[in-house]
Amino acid sequence: MDRYLAKLHSKPEHHKRRFALLASSTITLFIFGVWSIATFGVSNIGGSNTYTASGIEESSEVSPLESLRLNLASSFEALKNAFTDIDVQYKELRDGALDVYGQ
């Protein structure tokens, strides 16, 4: 690491800035990961209901990050379906146009 830092000192300024951005981003991402696990924990995805031995229903809550993930997944699925519908409509128009113009 000492050799790399010594080599970095001889590099142009934009290389130094890129290294500083990469190092600070990595450390920030690591800290955010530890914070999010400590804050939200790890639970069942989807907030499923479970029953205890006494028959009492317990529900696990969905964390904010799980909720965000589920909402993004459903949004992307809807977007994918919309593009599929557009593709089907385009093919129908193209086939109809080819029938009219005889190509």
Model confidence at 23, in pLDDT bands (50, 70, 90)?
very high
Nearest-angstrom CA–CA distance, 86 and 77: 14
Work out whether the CA dihedral 67, 73, 78, 82 comes out positive or negative.
positive
Query: What is the pTM assigned to this prediction?
Result: 0.39
Could you report the per-residue pLDDT of 38-52, keeping only the tens digit for each?
777 655 455 555 555
**pLDDT (average), residues 56-60:** 60
Work out whether the CA dihedral 52, 58, 63, 69 comes out positive or negative.
positive
3-state secondary structure of 1: coil
Per the structure block, which two tokens stand in for 92? 């129908």
Q: What angle do CA 74, 31, 76 make, to 5 degrees?
A: 10
Could you report the per-residue pLDDT of 59-97, keeping only the tens digit for each?
667 777 788 888 888 888 888 888 888 888 888 887 777
Nearest-angstrom CA–CA distance, 37 and 53: 29
Contacts with 44 (C-beta within 8 Å, 6 or more apart), sequence order: 60
